[in-house]
Amino acid sequence: MTKTDQVSIAVIGAGGVGRHFVTQCSYLLPKYPNASVVLISRSNRSLRVTSFDHALSLSAWEKDLAASDGPALSPPEILDFLSSAPGKCILVDNTSNQDVAASYPSFLNKGISVVTPNKKAFSSDLGLWTSVFESAYPRNAQGGLIYHESSVGAGLPIISTLKDLVDTGDEVDKIEGVFSGTMSFLFNSFAPVEGKGGKWSDEVRKAKDAGYTEPDPRDDLNGLDVARKLVILARVVGLQIESTSAFPVQSLIPNQLADCDSGDVFLEKLPDFDDEMDQVKSEAGRIGKVVRFVGRIDVANKQVKVGLEEFTKDHPIAGLKGSDNIINFYTKRYGSNPLIVQGAGAGGEVTAMGVTADLIKVLQRIS
How are beta strands 172-178 and 88-93 bridged, if at all? unpaired
Annotated catalytic residue, options 229, 269, 302, 321: 229
Phi, psi of 287 (to 5 degrees): -110, 20
Does residue 126 sit in helix, strand or coil?
A: helix
State how far the Cα of 14 lies from the Cα of 352, in Å rounded to an integer: 11
CB 325, CB 181: distance < 8 Å: yes
Sign of CA dihedral 123, 159, 344, 179: positive
State the DSSP H helix or E strand holding residue 71, giving kind and residue range, or none if neither.
none
| CA-based nearest residue to 148, from 84, 181, 100 | 100
Beta pairing partners, 11? 40, 92
Q: What would you report as the CA-atom Rg of the chain, rounded to the nearest whole angstrom?
A: 22
| CA-based nearest residue to 291, from 221, 186, 203 | 186
Is 229 catalytic? The answer is yes
CB 76, CB 103: distance < 8 Å: yes
How far is C-alpha 306 from the chain's CA centre?
17
State the DSSP H helix or E strand holding residue 171, giving kind and residue range, or none if neither.
none
Residues taking part in catalysis: 229
